[in-house]
Chains A and B, each alone.
Chain A
Amino acid sequence: MKLIVAIIQPHRLNEVKTALEAVEVNLMTVTEVLGQGRQKGVTEVYRGAKEAGSLLKKVRLDIAVNENFLEPTITAITKGAHTGEVGDGKIFVLDLAECIRISNGERGGKAIG
């Protein structure tokens, strides 16, 4: 089991969701986050006080998958989030030790989907 953490541009979320649905990945957690990578933030000014390159809003997806879904999920996220510009985001893949479905206590791979 793997946990995929993807940081993407907020306005690409819908394309990513559509691409994930096409490969039957329908379960995900979405959070709003702030971040900075190679894309510089925008300078903000408040009554003359400048704040250079502040953090930009991004969207974070957390998706748990079984191994056979790993590559299709990565491909779908990449396809949906890609614009070719700096700031498109990153995908991290982590090993997942356990997964438990709260409603019926199922564990492991069958609890993921």
Chain B
Amino acid sequence: MNSGDTAWVLTSTVLVFAMTIPGLAFFYGGLVRRKNVLSILMQCFIIMCVISLQWVLFGYSLSFGPDTGWGIIGSLKWAGLNFVGSQPNPDYAATIPHSVFMIFQCMFAVITPALIIGAFAERLKFSAFLIFSVLWATFVYNPIAHWVWGAGGWMKSFGVMDFAGGIVVHASSGVSALVFCLLLGRRVGYQHPPFRPHNLPFTVLGAGLLWFGWFGFNAGSALAADGIAANAFITTHVAAAVAGLTWALIEWQQNGAPTILGACTGAVAGLATITPVCGFVNPINAIFIGILASVFCYIAIAVIKTKLGYDDALDAFGVHGVGGIWGTIAVGLFAEKTVNAAGANGLFFGDAHQFLVQLTMVAVVSAFVAVMTWILFKFVDAVVGMRVEEKQEVIGLDLTQQSEAAYTVIE
């Protein structure tokens, strides 16, 4: 046991907590129309309540509990936090209490389904959101976390590298977001004219809190206060910085002005992208990864989304899906053993093997997530109905789903 490591992971847990509320809540909340801002804040808030419970009751055990045989899912032996006490579990982190590892991972389990909110914003029934999120956590997040990070997980045995959740968190939620919004359809009045974000200062506040919390997300994933954590910390910061700048420059060149929304979007894209690689690459290569993160995500959002016409309302796929997939592939290109001896060398350091592993694994996860999202969507749609009525959508989700209004007009 190491008190420094324990203190750092507990601190990181709080940082990752702050990414969902208030970080993501305000990042997304500022982007919707003002009649829907409370619905976003509520979804982010309640998902923290619900998934935290799901996690301690059985989600943690499904993800990290003893493998049931084929590396597919953990057993329920650790349900209700049985065997999850103050003694370290060397399979995951030898120097911190097992319970600290569990609560750190809880925050990841919460933010992952929360990211999907961006795709279905402004038109989903609250009841449908709740049921879908719990099912998604159980049948999509828990298995994937087990495959990639769980002791005996089949992808882990296959050698996949995902430092802090490029596959588990960002590719999984991003691909799910794309499938979800394709099934759900566009918002009423989509693109006639384009909906304006109702409060960009909220979005900037949220993006700042996401960047702040991401230090815990990535450097905390070292599960120790050591050199690997420091490297992850630095690459995270560098990628966010360069991606924010790159996006603003692309916009300046394309549209004549650099926007604060663009800079924020770029920074978040850079953060999502660096997540799986941050503990495996050196800071200078993080610059290249960050630049390309903004280029790829910009193309996905400004060109591909517009052409195909799907309504990924707040670009959950465009930022997290594309960023997560690119970051996962970047592991296979830029990883080097001189940075992290426990990792591998990527294609640019003379080894094609890891590149192929990363490519295969991200493709398999994407296919799994797409199929599962389709099944869960159809199920929830049949049980409670996914979309609010058109009239409710027009009035706004704050009044029709939460019976509250964020802003008063008179007094």
Say yes or no: A44-B394 contact (C-beta < 8 A), given A14-B192, A34-B410: no
Chain B: interface residue total (CB-CB under 8 A): 15
Docked-complex contact A44 and B395, CB < 8 angstroms: no
Chain A: interface residue total (CB-CB under 8 A): 14
A43 to B192, CA, bound (A): 29
Is B256 positioned at the interface, with any CB of A under 8 Å from its CB?
no
Docked-complex contact B405 and A44, CB < 8 angstroms: yes
Say yes or no: A44-B399 contact (C-beta < 8 A), given A9-B394, A11-B394, A85-B391: yes
| A80 nearest CB across to chain B (Å) | 12
Docked-complex contact B404 and A14, CB < 8 angstroms: no
Is A42 positioned at the interface, with any CB of B under 8 Å from its CB?
yes
Which single member of A32, A45, A57 contacts B404 (CB below 8 Å)?
A: A45
Chain B residue numbers with a CB within 8 Å of A45 are 403-404
Is B384 positioned at the interface, with any CB of A under 8 Å from its CB?
no
Docked-complex contact A56 and B404, CB < 8 angstroms: no
A42 to B189, CA, bound (A): 22
Near B by CB (< 8 A), chain A positions 48-105 give 54, 56-57, 85
Chain B residue numbers with a CB within 8 Å of A9 are 394
Chain A residue numbers with a CB within 8 Å of B400 are 42
Which single member of A14, A32, A34, A42 contacts B193 (CB below 8 Å)?
A: A14
Q: Mask for B364-407, Cβ within 8 A of A = 1, else 0?
A: 00000000000000000000000000010011000110011100
Return the chain A residue nearest B400 by Cβ: A42
Complex A-B: 20 CB contacts under 8 Å = A9-B394, A11-B188, A14-B189, A14-B192, A32-B409, A34-B409, A42-B400, A42-B403, A43-B403, A44-B399, A44-B403, A44-B404, A44-B405, A45-B403, A46-B404, A54-B405, A56-B395, A57-B35, A57-B409, A85-B391
